[in-house]
Amino acid sequence: MINLAAEGLERIQEVFPAYQSKNIAVVFESSELFVPYLSVALDSLVDHISKGYNYDVLILSNEIKDYDEFELKRIVQKAPNVTLRIINPHHLIEEYMRTAQYSYLEVNYYRMLLPWILKRYDKVINLGADVIINHDIADLFNTKLNKGCYMAGAPDLGYLGRLRIDISPDYLGMTDPYTYVNADVLLLNLREIRRNFSQLYFMNLWQERQLMCAEQDALNLAFDGHVQHLDLRWNVFPERMTSEEHIMHAPEESIAEWTTSLSDPFIIHYAAVPKPWDFPMVGYGYSWWNYARRSVYYEEIIRRMCLIAVQNSENHPQQIGVKGALVNYFKKHTPKWLRPLARKIKRLLKW
């Protein structure tokens, strides 16, 4: 095993695989704000590993503090075959960001440039932080990629539905827009990407125009016709999120596949809103909170949820919050003869 300290790429010019054999490489991109939610995803990943592989977890960030790095590493320490490193690739993308015509998040740049940030890797799994992993991630890593395939991902059923609502099928100019995949669960063929593309090509591609979904749009466009579809169970959007409405407009066979995948998700991806940390009643919200309760960030997650609930109840009392629930109840159940009194009480309470 090649052991690298998490010193950041300012001093480490190349990142080597953590293990010399059976190395399962998994990458997250994260901001400081998302660390509590990333801790939940990491815990679920470690809960579903096998002894037959070594798990090389890399977190790309230029924000994560030392104490957060310590806590994230504590999560994986319970498994002897998992290594976690924090890598800071900021210096590789800062010039692109400074001269860019269109602005994207720094973590978007990291995903676009993974083949060159991880030059010593042939293949990697890239995940978003808003996931729960219910299956050994090694099975995804070991997926055989077809010849000429640059990445494998699950169809983005929310996007497919929106092609029939508010996104033109000609928006990206893809050969078949219904092959569009979600970018928060990807298996990337880094070696083939490096062989056929330059990092300058990627940086120019998403500067030709402002893209709605940043690197997700750019990757789908760049690899058009060379994307392999994964079993949808590797990227299941839960019910009771805004994506559900979009999915209901997708092709019938896609809706049927989604319904089936809900019964046995390998990865639950809270891709839309509300997130489970803001509204626990989303589909599979209980799965997310089962891990959140184990996190050292549990109280911080609760604090943030309370702040969001109060803010939403003030702005949209009819939608969320205890106050909103009471308002809705009395609107529905107060007899007509009591409504003038109810209105007076509401004014007194400043509802």
CA distances from 276 to 48, 129, 288, 322 (A): 21, 12, 7, 18
Whether 326 maps to a domain, the answer reads yes
Do residues 69 and 160 both lie within one domain? Answer: yes
pTM of the model as a whole: 0.86
Whether 310 maps to a domain, the answer reads no
Do residues 296 and 338 both lie within one domain? Answer: no
Distance CA 39, CA 36 (A): 5
Do residues 264 and 153 both lie within one domain? Answer: yes
Cβ neighbours of residue 93 closer than 8 Å, sequence gap 6 or more:
106, 109, 110, 113
Do residues 231 and 342 both lie within one domain? Answer: no
Whether 33 maps to a domain, the answer reads yes
Beta carbons of 139 and 55 less than 8 angstroms apart: no
Q: Which amino acid, one-letter code, is at 314?
A: E
Cβ neighbours of residue 163 closer than 8 Å, sequence gap 6 or more:
169, 177, 178
Dump pLDDT digits (tens) for 327-347: 554 455 455 555 565 555 555
Beta carbons of 157 and 250 less than 8 angstroms apart: yes
Structure tokens at 152: 């494998």
Do residues 195 and 290 both lie within one domain? Answer: yes
Do residues 291 and 327 both lie within one domain? Answer: no
Whether 18 maps to a domain, the answer reads no
**Domain total in the chain:** 2
Do residues 321 and 201 both lie within one domain? Answer: no
pLDDT value of position 314: 72
Dump pLDDT digits (tens) for 296-336: 999 999 999 999 888 877 776 555 444 444 455 445 545 55
Structure tokens at 86: 């924090």
Tokens 């090389």, residue? 56
Q: Which amino acid, one-letter code, is at 141?
A: F
Do residues 135 and 43 both lie within one domain? Answer: yes
Q: Looking at residue 252, which CATH number applies to its domain?
A: 3.90.550.10
Do residues 289 and 349 both lie within one domain? Answer: no
Do residues 294 and 344 both lie within one domain? Answer: no
Whether 350 maps to a domain, the answer reads yes
Whether 286 maps to a domain, the answer reads yes
Low-confidence ranges of the chain (pLDDT < 70): 1-13, 316-351
Quickly list H helices, the chain.
Answer: 35-46, 66-76, 90-99, 106-112, 114-117, 137-141, 157-162, 190-196, 199-205, 214-222, 242-247, 252-261, 285-292, 298-315, 321-333, 339-348
Whether 311 maps to a domain, the answer reads no
Do residues 224 and 291 both lie within one domain? Answer: yes
Whether 34 maps to a domain, the answer reads yes
Range of the domain at 342: 317-351
Beta carbons of 83 and 56 less than 8 angstroms apart: yes
Do residues 212 and 124 both lie within one domain? Answer: yes
